[in-house]
Amino acid sequence: MTNTRNPLLPDRHPQQDLFVCDIVDATPKGDMGSMEHPVFSLSTKPDMKPREYVNGDKFIKISPSAKGLATVHDRDVLIYCISQCVAAMNEGKQVHRKLKITAHDMLVSTNRQTSGRGYELLKDTLRRLQGTQIETNIKQGGAETFSVFSLIDRADVIRETRDGRMQEIEITLSDWVFDAIENNYVLTLNRQYFQLRKPIERRLYELARKHCGKQSKWDIHLDKLSKKTGSSSSDKEFKRMISKVIKDNHAQNYIPDYTFTLTGDLLTVRPIKATLDSNALPSLQSDTYEEARHFARGWDIRVLESEWREWVQSKDIKVRNPDRNFLKFCRNRGPYKQEELF
């Protein structure tokens, strides 16, 4: 019997193990874990100081890379990757931990510089995201476990221009970050988020989005707010910093979706009325939820409904039949089976 050898080498890197980020204007999404807890440094200079945050039985320890701790602005890369994955899932596509992104598209989408300096800053961002070490028992929608990880497992520049500008990058997300995508443990962010200059302004918006959402208000004392933002300032300096942000925002209204007031040491966050009314789709019929559970077995239907409403709003879709539209959305998600989706 003749042994015929295949003239082709085996495909060692099949395409299904790589998700190509190519969705234009994907709605910005942030993972709830790093929105609620101080995963990222507020510093705009290399921050080499290890940090620890404890809230009840939850803890997080963060150790810096050789380039310092990952910063709030570094988070832009994760937001972009998460946004691309969620948008693809909403269209019924498969996604994976390993993504291929176009550097220019990411820089434009997150309102970052596209000059040569912008690409150098992006390389430093990738170094910090990969090098920052995190220990935590904070879950991302799944089972609580003790984990030690980096925010991204690795980043590879696949293609560069002659002057050294990155064109294509392959990024492998950590399990912790991908768990947020897998469990839909994400929230929509206003695109204006990327225009906020100061890290503390971004953290205030993230915390408002996570804790206030569309409730009528959310209160938090400054001592707890200081810990949740990851600030290393004294109590007096932190209060001065927050007071200035509130004063500037009252004058120019540049922080999207929420208003902030400070009474003594109590910060009160309220959603702007336009935000509450922006997605006023009618309630769904009770039978619709039952049918949706059949199409999307294993998913939390209420979470899917919230995701669907945000998707309709972000795409400015005119929905004539909300029940039928929601069921189509659920059919695209399909049964939740890890081995099939990921």
DSSP annotation of 19 reads: E
- Decide if pLDDT at 192 tops 60: yes
CATH class belonging to 193-276: mainly alpha
Block residue for tokens 């029940």: 323
Res. 69 pLDDT band, cuts 50 70 90: very high
Name residue 173's beta-bridge partners.
152
Q: What pLDDT does 340 receive?
A: 30
The residues of the chain that CATH labels 1.10.10 are 193-276
Q: What pLDDT does 66 receive?
A: 93
Distance of CA 141 to the CA centre of its chain: 14
38 three-class SS: coil
Distance CA 74, CA 333 (A): 30
Question: Per-residue pLDDT averaged across 123-129, rounded?
Answer: 96
Amino acid at 298: G
- Decide if pLDDT at 263 tops 70: yes
Q: What pLDDT does 138 receive?
A: 85
Distance CA 219, CA 235 (A): 18
Cα angle for residues 108, 202, 215 (degrees, 5° grid): 115
Question: Per-residue pLDDT averaged across 322-332, rounded?
Answer: 88
Indicate the pTM of the whole model.
0.76
Q: What pLDDT does 160 receive?
A: 74
Distance CA 92, CA 335 (A): 11
pLDDT digits (tens, 9 = 90+) for 144-186: 678 899 999 999 988 777 776 788 899 999 999 999 998 889 9
More confident residue, 104 or 338: 104
- Decide if pLDDT at 12 tops 50: no
- The proportion of the chain whose per-residue pLDDT surpasses 90, expressed as a percent, equals 52
* Contacts of 299 by beta carbon, 8 Å cutoff, 6+ apart: 184, 330, 333, 336
Res. 43 pLDDT band, cuts 50 70 90: very high
Q: How many CB atoms sit inside 10 A of residue 239's CB?
A: 19
- Decide if pLDDT at 8 tops 60: no
Judged by average pLDDT, the poorest of 99-108, 238-247, 294-303 is 294-303
Residues 271 and 215: beta-carbon distance below 8 Å: yes
Q: What pLDDT does 149 receive?
A: 93
- Decide if pLDDT at 190 tops 80: yes
Judged by average pLDDT, the poorest of 23-27, 29-33, 199-203 is 23-27
Block residue for tokens 């500037």: 248
